[in-house]
Structure formats: C-alpha cells, structure tokens
Structure 1
Amino acid sequence: MRAIQKISEELDWKHCSFIRTLLARPTKTGARSQHHSLLKKLRTNYVFGGFDLHNTIQGLIGLSFSTSPKLSHVATIWGMYVRAGMRGSGLSSGLMEAAQKAASSVRTIKLSVVTTNHAAYALYLSYGFTNWATDTAALYAKGIFMTNIL
C-alpha cells in the first residue's frame, strides 16, 4: 500500500474502473449509482482513497458533516469499500483512521452496516462503534430487503 489520501474532484473518474464498479454497487458503498452524485459528495464531504504502489485506488471511505447547527457535533461515515484482494491487508483500518482523524472535531461519528457484512461489522466494533438501533428493510437490491445495524 502506498498511501491513503483525500480524493478531490480533479481525479479522473471516467478512467477509473474501480470507481465505476463502486457506482454500480450502491449496497456495498452507500453511494448512489449516478456519477454526478459522487462528484457532489467530493465537493461537500471528505472522501479518502487507499492507493497502491501503482497509484491505483484499492479502497475508499466517505465522511460527511452536518450543516445543521443542532447536529454540528455529528459526522457520518456514509460509505466504505475495499477491493476483495486488499481485504485483510490493513487498508480498511487505514481508511477508518483517516476518517476518524478528519472527524476529530466532532463528538459523534455515526455509520451503518448491513447485517450480512460480518467483516465490516467486526472492524467497526474494533474501533469502538456500538449498536444503537436496527433499521429493517433499510436497503433494497435485487429483490431483497436488507437490514442495517446503526
């Protein structure tokens, strides 16, 4: 792994097959399936990518901050994805650490994870996240409703 860095709009998205793959898998990333949606997120959120020695993106995490004064103490991790071949390499931990550092000014970081993603759930628990609710039928894909742990 070469580096984890903040991603900006200037990244050449149309030539990045990994990002196209992510955009086609909204249940895995929490991102919408439209290109412009992710570009908007890059303008208004923190998105960190993990890059290998060839400068190829291998994973990403997205973090947003509320614009509401009453919620200014809360950040939300809205998506995380790591290529299958990089899972278990420490990349997920590096991405989590980058997001936590970026959110160091807030009191609370929220996230959700689909109940079938046991590896992600274990990662989040290892970083001190706790269950506070269950959202049944939170996602719907390929004719199946999925439950999220919040």
Structure 2
Amino acid sequence: MTINPRQFLNEVDNLSNSSLKRRDDLLSIFQITFENSLEDQLEQITFTAKFIWGLLSVLKSGKENPEIENLVNIKKDLAVNIGKVKEELNHIIEKDALLKFRFEAEYFAMNQASFQSLNELLHDLEWTKKYLNIQKRSKKN
C-alpha cells in the first residue's frame, strides 16, 4: 500500500485542528519515510516525541507543584530522550543530504532557537503519534 505523504500530513493537521508548526519539515520526514519504507522508524520517533512532551508537562507541573519529586531524574530522562529523538531523526533524514544539513542548523544546534524549533517539531510528531494510534485502533475494530 502506497501512502501519500501530503495526504498523511493533511490528516495529521486536521486531527491537530491545524496546530502543526513545522508542516514543511514534517512533510519532508513523511516523504522520506514512505519512499524508503521507514514506517517503523517513524513509529519510534513519534513514540519518543510523545514521551518527551509528557516529560516536559511533568517538569512544568513540578515547577508549580512542590509535591512532585524526582525533577532531577525527569530532567535526565528528558536529556536522554532528546538525544534519542535526534538520533532517530538523523536515521531518516540521512537519506537527503540537504535536509540533513538544514536539520543540523535548524533543530540540532546547541542554542535556544534550535531547542525551540525542535520542541515545535516534537509537538508535530506527537500529533503524528496520536494519529497513528487512532489508525491502529480503527484497524482493530
């Protein structure tokens, strides 16, 4: 079965109520994924992205709620998983040298702007995971 990357993106965007922030780069990821049969890697990236968003939520709550303990461990988990998602993304984007170069500057540089951009991409990948989960459930029913 051939998946149309643009249609896939539109379906994820519809689910997110048009809240995707990095549509063009997400489309590039989808194109490479579907052209190279890397769906398992996309599944892993989206899982890690969703996990990171959960950790960020706990950290935010922890700052507001002194009862939440282990913030140091949560921060360590966050750092490990950000490294993991970068590695997973690199595995997909290595198929396109120009995209890899741009991702290095846009998302993987060690500065505040890159971290913000990466968070936006992770937001979009989290929506992708939600979409994939809905698709899995609908196939089971």
**What's the TM-score once normalised by structure 1's chain length?**
0.29
Bigger strand fraction: 1
**What's the TM-score once normalised by structure 2's chain length?**
0.31
